[in-house]
Structure 1
Amino acid sequence: MNTILIRPAKPTDLSALTALYWHLDAAAERCPPEKAASVFARFALYQGSAILLGLFENAPVTSCTVVVVPNLTHGGTPYALIENVVTHADYRNRGFGKAILHAAVELAWAEGCYKAMLMTGSKEASTLALYEAAGFEQSKTGFQVRRVPVRSE
């Protein structure tokens, strides 16, 4: 059975987590360990937010980041942004990505968010199908300004 344990990442997971990010973008600059620890500590200050980690047979196989954003519209109800969705290449097509996204949405609802959203630069049919299968719909237009180039697929 392809059951995974999903939990918030801990400081002791940083090495495995940063290695997992290689499967998100192999060409991206790596975060050095000392900086990763500092960023992780700072991220922990974002109330309600989490870096979720999915473990299969104790191996980290999937992750995503959920940021809960305070909001002055919708009656002061927060919203959630989901980023850095990744599944280890050897563990794709087993439902792990869908499971981590469902956990991210559940976290958003538990924090009282009125919506959870994500953006992707991917044009891969399998990636887009994953997001739709996890309950996301393509209903907005996204824009961005970047300091670094868009990753190639």
Structure 2
Amino acid sequence: MPSACSVRPLIPADCDAALTLYTDLTFGPPADNPAAFLRVIAHPGTTIFGAFSGGTAVAMVTLHLLPNVTWNARPYGLIENVVTHHQHQRRGYGRAVLTAAIDAAWAADAYKVMLMTGQKRGAKGFYESVGFSSEDKHAMVIRRT
């Protein structure tokens, strides 16, 4: 983790900073819905971890911990919306928030953590360097038109 970096769960007061980071993430319509952000952080089992440098949010990741019936009823984690502000990439902030999310999943006794990454983003090597593998699973998506 970068020396001047702190990582913590985001709170309602972090809404504007999070919406700014979502803008760096999405190719679609801008994420300018504060009510949606507040719903996500209030959702049971969901945490958005943010990395801060000099008091500014520079990276974040969403972790959803989901209940499960198999694997002795242990939950599983789903990682979504991993983003580092374009001016702060390749400095360890993304790794810091991703590690915090994985650590939280293991602390909750999750038996696995999953994520998908877009083929256009070129982030597969980054996720592999953190420990993710695509050797035994294939991700598939269906989108509503």
> TM-score surpassing 0.5?
yes
Contact in 2 for aligned 1:97/1:130 (Cα 8 Å): no
Match of 1:46 in 2: 44
How far residue 96 of structure 1 moved from its aligned partner, in angstroms, is 1.1
Match of 1:12 in 2: 13
How far residue 38 of structure 1 moved from its aligned partner, in angstroms, is 4.9
Equivalent runs, 1:26-65 vs 2, <5 Å: 27-33=27-33, 36-41=34-39, 43-47=41-45, 49-65=46-62
Contact in 2 for aligned 1:11/1:37 (Cα 8 Å): no
How far residue 2 of structure 1 moved from its aligned partner, in angstroms, is 2.5
Match of 1:133 in 2: 129
How far residue 39 of structure 1 moved from its aligned partner, in angstroms, is 4.7
Contact in 1 for aligned 2:95/2:130 (Cα 8 Å): yes
How far residue 146 of structure 1 moved from its aligned partner, in angstroms, is 0.7
How far residue 32 of structure 1 moved from its aligned partner, in angstroms, is 3.7
The separation in 1 between residues aligned to 2:57 and 2:100, in whole angstroms, is 15
The separation in 1 between residues aligned to 2:40 and 2:93, in whole angstroms, is 27
Q: Against the structure 1 CA distance between its residues 91 and 45, is the aligned structure 2 distance closer, same or farther, given a 3 Å change threshold?
A: same
Q: Against the structure 1 CA distance between its residues 21 and 70, is the aligned structure 2 distance closer, same or farther, given a 3 Å change threshold?
A: same
- The one-letter code sitting in structure 1 at the alignment partner of 2:38 is F
Residues 31-87 of structure 1 deviation map (CA, whole Å, 9 limit, x = unaligned)? 444xx335523542313x201111011111000000000000001010000000000
Task: Give the gaps of 5 or more residues in structure 1.
Answer: 149-153
Task: Give the gaps of 5 or more residues in structure 2.
Answer: none
Percent identical among aligned pairs is 36
- The one-letter code sitting in structure 2 at the alignment partner of 1:30 is P
How far residue 98 of structure 1 moved from its aligned partner, in angstroms, is 1.1
Total equivalences in the alignment: 143
How far residue 15 of structure 1 moved from its aligned partner, in angstroms, is 0.8
Q: Against the structure 1 CA distance between its residues 60 and 77, is the aligned structure 2 distance closer, same or farther, given a 3 Å change threshold?
A: same
The separation in 1 between residues aligned to 2:8 and 2:97, in whole angstroms, is 9
1:111 aligns with 2:111: no
How far residue 13 of structure 1 moved from its aligned partner, in angstroms, is 0.5
